[in-house]
Each structure stands twice: as C-alpha cells, then as structure tokens.
Amino acid sequence: MTGKLLGALLLLVSLAFPMSTCSYYEDAEGKRIEVAQGETPPEGAVEVISRSYAFEDFHPLDPGDWVRALAFAWPILAIATLRLRKRGAIAMGVRVLEPALIAGSIFAVHFISTFFADRREIGAYLAFLGLGIYAISTIWVDVALYRKWRERRT
C-alpha cells in the first residue's frame, strides 16, 4: 500500500507545478505577433511565456472542473476506502474500477498538458510518474491478493 500512497501523493504534489507552457511574441504595444517557427522575431518583439496549472481557474459550479479534480484526488479516496474495507463488495468494486480510473487520469493529465500548449512541464511529468507508481503498485497488490485467494481455495 505504500507504493500506492507514494503515487497518490506525487499526483497531488504535481498540482503545485505548471503542467504546460506556451510561448508567443508581443510587440511594444502588447499586441500578439505571429512568428513562424525558425524565423527571427521582428525588432522590438518580446517573447512571452505563459505557464498553465491544472487548477488555474476552478469554478465550483462547473461539473467539468469537478471531473478534473477527481482525476487528481481519486487515488487518495481509493486508498482510504481500501484501508477501511479490506474485503467485501466495496473493496472489490474499488479494485475493479482502479484500472479505468488510472486510464482516465492519464488521459486528463495528457489533455491538460497538451491542449493549446507548446510543451509539457514538470507538473505533468510528476503526475505521470505518480500514476505510473500507483498503477504498478495496484498490479502488485492485486496479484498478491489473487494468489492468496487461490491458495485458500485449494
């Protein structure tokens, strides 16, 4: 369970860091200038780098923002549920849902870190690392539980 906790905490820590950056040029008046990649910007143009965070703008009445929050918070909820309910239908339901939730979180981080962005930043990489650790730990724990279950049946 410690691997899962480490992965879940890394996923939460990733929220403190930028997920992506976008850069563009502005002229002296502050108007955006289109510069093709590889071209030199016009005289007096300034490069502006914009960093995007996962929760830069959170609106409590927007259901999409709650889905985004769930993509980062569900592992902590799953760990708490599995600590309280080690056996039974609820624990089995959480274990069955975990792969789909991991895939959903990977998609959410990918979408947040690439949508209208030039490149990913440290927050996205930390989130992917956390999800990878959580996924490997989930497989490890579930295989061990399956082996115990098989031993008890024979």
**What is the tens place of the pLDDT at every residue in 71-102?**
999 999 999 999 998 888 999 999 999 999 99
What domain count does the chain have?
A: 1
**Rounded mean pLDDT of 102-119?**
91
pLDDT for 28 equals: 78
Q: Which residues of 82-96 are buried (b: 16+ CB within 10 A; e: fewer)?
A: beeeeeeeebeebbe
**Rounded mean pLDDT of 7-22?**
94
Taking the CA of residue 103 as centre, how many other CA atoms within 13 Å lie in the half-sphere pointing to its CB? 5
**Rounded mean pLDDT of 11-18?**
94
Is residue 7 a part of any domain in this protein? yes
pTM for the full predicted model: 0.84
Q: Over 70: is that where the pLDDT of 1 sits?
A: no
**What is the tens place of the pLDDT at every residue in 50-68?**
888 888 888 888 888 898 8
Is residue 89 a part of any domain in this protein? yes
Q: What is the DSSP string of 6-23?
A: HHHHHHHHGGGS-SEEEE
Confidence of residue 37 (pLDDT cuts 50, 70, 90): confident
Is residue 43 a part of any domain in this protein? no
Is residue 117 a part of any domain in this protein? yes
- Residue 22 near residue 152 (C-beta atoms within 8 A): no
Confidence of residue 45 (pLDDT cuts 50, 70, 90): confident
- Residue 27 near residue 34 (C-beta atoms within 8 A): no
Is residue 28 a part of any domain in this protein? no
Q: Which residues of 6-30 are buried (b: 16+ CB within 10 A; e: fewer)?
A: ebbbbbbebbebbbbeeebbeeeee
What letter does residue 86 receive in the DSSP assignment? S
Residues 6+ apart with CB under 8 A from 34: none
**Rounded mean pLDDT of 92-113?**
94
Tokens 């992506």 correspond to what residue?
A: 20
Is residue 31 a part of any domain in this protein? no
Is residue 48 a part of any domain in this protein? no
Structural domain of 93: 2-18+54-153
Is residue 90 a part of any domain in this protein? yes
